Every structure is written in structure tokens, then in C-alpha cells.
Amino acid sequence: MRTATLLILALAISGCGDDDIHSYNAPKTPPPTQMQTPGPSLAATLPDSPSDVVWDMPDGWTESNSDQAMRAATFDAGGIEVIVTALSGPAGGILANVNRWRGQIGLDAIDEASLAPMLTHYNGIGGDVIIADMTGDQRMVAAIVDPGDGKTWFVKATGDPDPIGALLPEFTLFARSFRTEVKPATTSSPAGTGSEQSVLDRLGSYTPPDNWTRDPNASSVVAAAYTAGTGARITATVLGGQGGGILPNINRWRGQVGLEPVPTLEDAGGQDIGGALLVNITGEQASIVAAIVTEGDHSWFFKMTGAPSEIEPELPAFQRFVQRVGLGEDTP
């Protein structure tokens, strides 16, 4: 009996809540204005601010001029026109867009249930890529890309079935290459520098640890190279601008040690060392530790490569190297 009472009590409590119509007085709200911006009133996540979107154009394609206002870019892929457009937000959603395209090639609209089987999902460099392949009066391949800049990007090619089929692998790679390019840094010197000396000046006066030997074959790009006693190789490289972007570089390094690319900088991990971003990419056979420091209109890439066992003992010395040369900190 007591058990039953307990159960009923628990159910009664769990049933309580603000599940009914209720009224209250609230401070006055300003009257609504006529301008409405569609958009949920709360930001759901912590997004980074939007950046420019870039892509890799396949060999043999040429970019053609288009005066159509909606188009972000138009390409000529061996006689087939590939159109790139971007719309803010989810742009009506996948189903609405797929049905719009189906209409363009004389196909009937489909419902949500029939949508899933006709879509192929890919991981792109910048984010999710969904490709729809439809054949009606003509064959159309269309990609919906979310490179994380708050917009939805559409890539579309229409033509006869066979040429479109032949284009599809290249088209897919193209759509998967969409990514956000980090904006050039606005600071003229790295945070915490505090000195007027440039990285190159500091590199010239830098005394490496005892077990590092300087390689003589440095160039204008590789400003300094060392080999540590453990076998790890340390380089300081300078490149114009962002050196191709932070994320593409991290993904390139990940590829070098046999790891899959990551979609965003957040996923790359990383550690803040006095204002510079230090990433530690550990593969099975080889590892890369790198720090990126922006100085004026160019970027310094401090990099240590080698087997994990060669790298591990040199980590503290490498970090001091970055702090001293890259950031101009007075480390012991």
C-alpha cells in the first residue's frame, strides 16, 4: 500500500509544470517595428565570425564571367556550365531546393520520405556536402554545401546524362573543396611582443639549445632549420599573408602524418601559448608540432617534425623557441 502511495505521489509530482495557459504582468515592451529580420532570437552555438569562402578549381576548368547578380561564380567545365550561388541561412531547406531543381528539369516534386534516398552525403574540407543527382528532360547534379560561414552554397551543373556523369567525380571534389578562409590578421604585430624587433631579427640573434644543430641550407622561405639531437627537425618558415590559410595548412600537415582532415579549426585542437596557436598533430609513424604567428602582412610557421619519440623530448625547447623568436617573450 505504502509503495502504491509513493508511486502515485511521484507520478503526481512529475506531472506538475507550467503546462497551462497563464497570465502575468511584464515590463513594457517597445512596439514592434515594421522591419523584421527572420532569424531565431537566440544564437544556438558559439560561431566564429564569418570568413570568406574559397574553393579549389579542378584542372581544365575555366572561370567565366557572369553578370547574373545571384551568381557567386560560373565555370566552364569542358563545355558544361557549373554555377555557384550562395544564399544566407538554410535558404529554404534541402527539400524546397531539390523540388525547385526538379521542376527545372521537368520532374514532379517529391516529399520528405522520398528525398533521403536520392541524396549522397560527403564530408567536405569546410563542412557537410550533400549532392543530388536527378535526371528528367536533362540530367542535373547539384551540391548543397555548408562551409560554416552562415550561408548555404549551391553548386549546379545541367546537361546531357553522359557528359554530366563523366563530370560527376570532378564536380564532387570541387564541391568538397569549399571552405572558409580565415581573414587576414588585423594586428601588425603578435600580441605580447612588446618589442620593435621583427621575428627575423630575433631569429638572427637566437641561440638554440645545445642539442640543436643549425642546418646551413636555409632559404628566403625557410628562414632557419635545426636538427635536434633526438632526430626531430625544426624549421621556421615565413610566407606571405596567411600562407594559404591556417586550417588548410593544419589539414595538409594532418595528411602528411596520415590523419583525416578536420572540418573546423576548433576540431584541430590547439593550445594558446601567449597569443600564438600551437597544434600538436600526432600520427602513428610521424608527428608534427606547429605554431603559427602572424606578423604584419606575412605569417611565420614554426614546425617540428619527426617520429613521436623524437618529438616528445623536444617539446619544451620548441615551445621556448616559439615564445622567444615568434612572440619575443623573454623566456629563460
Partner 1 sequence: MTKWLKPIASLRFTVVLLSLSMVLVLAGTLAQVNHGVWTVVDDYFRSPLVYIKFQLFFPSTIQKIPGGILFPGGLTLGLLLMINLLAAHLVRFRFTWKRAGSLITHFGVIVLIIGEFVTGVAAKEGKMAIFEGGSSNFTEDNRSVELAIIDPSPTDHDRVTVIPGSKLAGARGALTDPRLPFGIRVEQWMPNSQILGPMQATPDQLARATDGLGTQMAATPAPQATGVDNKNDLPAAYVTLLDDSGPVGTYLATVWFTQPQTVTVGGKQYYLQLRFTRSYKPYTIHLIDFKHDKFVGTEMARNYSSLVRLEDPSRNVDRQVLIYMNHPLRYAGETFYQASFMEGDTGTVLQVVRNPGWMLPYVSCTLVTVGMLMHFGLRLTTFVRRQNR
Closer by beta carbon to partner 1, 13 or else 196: 13
**24 binds partner 1 per the rule CB under 8 A:** yes
**10 binds partner 1 per the rule CB under 8 A:** yes
Closer by beta carbon to partner 1, 36 or else 205: 36
Provide φ and ψ at 165, rounded to 5°: -60, -40
Q: 84: part of which helix (H) or strand (E)? A: strand 80-88
Q: Which three cell numbers stand for residue 71?
A: 551568381
Kindly give, in sequence order, each residue whose CB lies less than 8 Å from that of residue 140, ignoring residues fewer than 6 positions away. 101, 104, 105, 132, 133, 134, 156, 157, 158, 164
User: 545541367: which residue's cell?
Assistant: 158
- Residue 289 CA to residue 295 CA, distance in Å, equals 20
**69 binds partner 1 per the rule CB under 8 A:** no
Q: Are 141 and 279 in contact (CB under 8 A)?
A: no
Judged by CB under 8 A, which of 64, 114, 187, 282 binds partner 1? Answer: 187
Judged by CB under 8 A, which of 124, 126, 190, 263 binds partner 1? Answer: 190
Q: Are 169 and 86 in contact (CB under 8 A)?
A: no
- Residue 309 CA to residue 255 CA, distance in Å, equals 19
- Residue 279 CA to residue 254 CA, distance in Å, equals 11
Using the contact rule CB under 8 A, the part of the chain among 119-127, 203-211, 216-224, 270-278 near partner 1 is 270-278
**18 binds partner 1 per the rule CB under 8 A:** yes
**12 binds partner 1 per the rule CB under 8 A:** no
Judged by CB under 8 A, which of 76, 161, 169, 183 binds partner 1? Answer: 183
The residue count for binding partner 1 (CB under 8 A) is: 64
Task: Looking at residues 228 to 267 of the shown chain, list those that interact with partner 1 (rule: CB under 8 A).
Answer: 242, 246, 265-266
**205 binds partner 1 per the rule CB under 8 A:** no
Closer by beta carbon to partner 1, 92 or else 255: 92
- Residue 167 CA to residue 157 CA, distance in Å, equals 9
Judged by CB under 8 A, which of 67, 108, 112, 330 binds partner 1? Answer: 112
Distances in Å between the Cα of 301 and the Cα atoms of 80, 183, 262, 264 are 40, 17, 19, 19
Closer by beta carbon to partner 1, 26 or else 60: 26
Q: At closest approach, how far in Å is the CB of 57 from partner 1? A: 24
Contact residues toward partner 1 (CB under 8 A) are: 3, 6-7, 10-11, 13-14, 16, 18-29, 31-33, 36-46, 48-49, 51, 90-93, 95-96, 112, 117, 182-183, 185, 187, 190-191, 242, 246, 265-266, 270, 272, 275-277, 292-294, 299
